[in-house]
Amino acid sequence: MTPTDSLLTMDLRSGDDDWSPTPHGHWLATMLAEKDLVSGRDVLELGAGVANHTILIHRKGARSIVATEITEELIETSKVNFERNCGDGADIDFRVADWLSTPGRFDVVVSNPPFCQSGKQNRRYFLDSLILDAHKRLRPRGELVFIQSSMADFGETERRMDRNGFDVEIVGTTSGPFRDYYFEDAQFMKEIEQVDGGYELRDGVYHEHLRVYRGKLREWAPHSNAHLPGQG
């Protein structure tokens, strides 16, 4: 077994409402295992699911972790899976929180944001929100690490990250066939037709590309004439 394989070996259990990891989650896990993205850092993980990434973030030596989910039941799954694999001695806080609405400043924010099934009119809502507002949860020079599909528009993400003060690095790419549920949403299939390079047909089979991005906040200070009431 390779070192990456042993990092990725975990006992995960889930109920009907829990998110079962997909190739997106597996690729982010591989990148977390292979690269040095979190060691010695205070990490905020958004949408921890079955704790597949939370466990890795701990195994890779994060100093502390805050892991979030949207309901008590979902965060209970994250907590139980984490403790089964990592014990109860870690510096970790499991919180119910709506996306970035949780207190604290961190060195790294990690996520596999909802996209295809985001349930929002702007399907990119969670990605866009992350790019726009993660700076409120990050320390200066903090980093954002997330996975995205080509269907969600790589160009749009890279432009928005740059505009919002992040230096962009592509940590790793892969590709794979569409999941069956993509085809079940006719509106989704229509939307991705509009995305430049959103998918690739290989021998008639739809494939998406996946990228793990790392965005690093650039040094910045407000313009000298900025009007910032209440911010000293």
Ligand X SMILES: C[S@@+](CC[C@H](N)C(=O)[O-])C[C@H]1O[C@@H](n2cnc3c(N)ncnc32)[C@H](O)[C@@H]1O
Contacting residues toward ligand X, per CB under 6 A? 19, 21, 25, 46-49, 52-53, 68-70, 74, 98-99, 112, 114
**Shorter beta-carbon distance to ligand X: residue 52 or 157:** 52
| In the complex, least distance from residue 20 CB atom to ligand X, rounded to whole angstroms | 7
**Shorter beta-carbon distance to ligand X: residue 152 or 217:** 152
| In the complex, least distance from residue 182 CB atom to ligand X, rounded to whole angstroms | 14
| In the complex, least distance from residue 96 CB atom to ligand X, rounded to whole angstroms | 8
Phi, psi of 171 (to 5 degrees): -75, -40
* Angle of the 52-59 helix axis to the 23-34 helix axis, nearest 10: 0
| In the complex, least distance from residue 199 CB atom to ligand X, rounded to whole angstroms | 18
Half-sphere exposure of 93 (CA within 13 A, CB side): 13
For the chain, the distance separating the N- and C-terminal CA atoms, rounded to the nearest angstrom, is: 55
| In the complex, least distance from residue 58 CB atom to ligand X, rounded to whole angstroms | 14
**Shorter beta-carbon distance to ligand X: residue 120 or 163:** 120
- Nearest to residue 146, comparing CAs of 121, 120, 126? 126
**Shorter beta-carbon distance to ligand X: residue 33 or 46:** 46
What residues have CB less than 8 Å from 174, skipping those under 6 apart? Answer: 23, 27, 209, 210
**Shorter beta-carbon distance to ligand X: residue 180 or 196:** 180
Can you list the positions of beta strands (E) in the chain? 42-46, 64-69, 92-96, 106-111, 138-149, 166-177, 200-202, 205-217
Q: Which residue is nearest to ligand X (CB)?
A: 47
